[in-house]
Amino acid sequence: MKTLAPLTIINGRPVLPQGEPQLGAVRCEGDRIVALGGAVQPQDGDRVLDAKGALIAPGLVDLGVFAIDKPAFHFGGITRAALMPDQATVLDKPAVVRFAAQSGKPDLWVHPLAAATRDLAGGDIAELALMRDAGARAVATGRHWIADSGTMHRLMSYCAMLGLTVVTHAEDEGLTGSAVATAGEMATRLGLPSAPAEAEALAVARDLALAEMTGARLHFRQVTTRAALDLVRAAKARGVAVTAGVTPAHFMLSDVALGDFRTFTRLSPPLRSEADRQAVRAALADGTIDVISSGHDPRGPEDKRLPFSDAEPGMAGAETLLPLTLGLVRDGVFDLARAFALLATNPAQLLGVDAGQLQVGHQADLAVVDPDKPWIVDSNKMAAAAGNTPFDKQGVEGRVLHLFKGGAAVG
């Protein structure tokens, strides 16, 4: 492979872990960042990119996608994606994990999440140590919660010993059953099968108790209700090794969005009440939520052009992840440094990779971003494999202008 000349991005505003971005530059040699700041200058022979005042940010690390969709990821500034085990061939064997880990290179690095149980059936624990050695960065229960507390206790004990984080879906399926909406006024008006929001809090409470017992690191892929967020907040205060994530749908939309039976709003977990949406925004502001991910799950007409109760859940989220998060910066929920911690730094740390942050020695995964560039989300023109976005025809701001993976230009 041809060795690339060093890269220097000048006249940009590097997004650092603290403070407002100031004018400066970032210089990379090979696949690593070697210098950053206001005094950095390009050297003879460097490739030079003039950022023209745009942000220089770490490439996003998307934690928990259901499909590898390079065009959508590159559009959205995503350079690394943690792949959920729910694939046509479940990620429950070392060979399958090893193949997935190689599937996106060189311009996208895929970090497989190993299936917690064989065939994700919630019974026998899978070959976790072998899958870790094959490239799995964490262990996930997939789209479902493990109902058997004994199995979950064994899983957490084993993962604590292996140093692997457990990524879990937090809904007690004994309560949710075949529900497609959250119990409340909207579900009643529309006549949709619904389940109480407390199904999430019950699942969170059980898993937090087991994490505290075993010392395992636990990550809730999505926490979307006030009651569950209060439990996570209290557990963190006690010192439990727990982190929580959310997708933009749950800080942007409430169950009012279900009003026209549009199946692009059929999600898992389902959209919640306005009070829960506001609780999510508060949890993003106070640090209770650690990660914002896209939940990218492109679904075609065969899955979505159905009655609401029959449609498959999921949204194409990679392209809107960055601009919708930047919307919270404009709303004053948090600053730019915190935005990229949620989108890149924290998920990279959870996966144990040296990326997600502008730091000397880290991987040169970089996005040059115009945070104010307006555009309109259009489900018919998306780069994703399918355009099932609940934000169709919505105006947003924030666009990736240039993307680099390991110092090499993408696209």
Question: How do residues 332-349 score in pLDDT, each as one tens digit?
Answer: 999 999 999 999 999 999
Within 10 A of 26 (CB to CB), how many other CB atoms are there?
A: 26
The pLDDT value given to residue 99: 97
Give pairs for 338-344: CB < 8 Å, separation 24+. 340/15, 340/57, 340/58, 341/17, 342/284, 342/289, 342/290, 342/291, 342/292, 343/60, 343/61, 343/292, 344/57, 344/58, 344/59, 344/60, 344/61
Identity of the residue numbered 285: A
Q: Which strands make up the sheet holding 109-115, listed edge to edge?
A: 60-65, 78-83, 109-115, 138-140, 166-168, 218-220, 242-246, 291-292
Residues 283-327: pLDDT tens digits? 999 999 999 999 999 999 999 999 999 999 999 999 999 999 999
Beta-strand relationship, 194-195 and 181-182: parallel
Residues 379-399: pLDDT tens digits? 999 999 999 999 999 999 999
Question: Across residues 49-61, what is the average pLDDT?
Answer: 98
Domain residue spans of the chain: 60-356+383-394
pLDDT of 265 above 80: yes
The pLDDT value given to residue 80: 98
The pLDDT value given to residue 108: 97
What is the rounded distance in angstroms from the CA atom of residue 341 to the CA atom of residue 364? Answer: 16
The pLDDT value given to residue 3: 83
Q: Is this structure's pTM higher than 0.85? A: yes
Question: Across residues 117-137, what is the average pLDDT?
Answer: 97
Residues 148-178: pLDDT tens digits? 999 999 999 999 999 999 999 999 999 999 9
pLDDT band (50, 70, 90) for residue 33:
very high
pLDDT of 2 above 80: no
pLDDT band (50, 70, 90) for residue 1:
low
Question: Across residues 54-71, what is the average pLDDT?
Answer: 97
- What mean pLDDT, rounded, does the chain reach? 97
Can you name the CATH fold of 60-356+383-394? TIM Barrel (3.20.20)
The percentage of the chain sitting over the pLDDT mark of 90, rounded to a whole number, equals: 98
Q: 3-state DSSP call for residue 328? A: helix
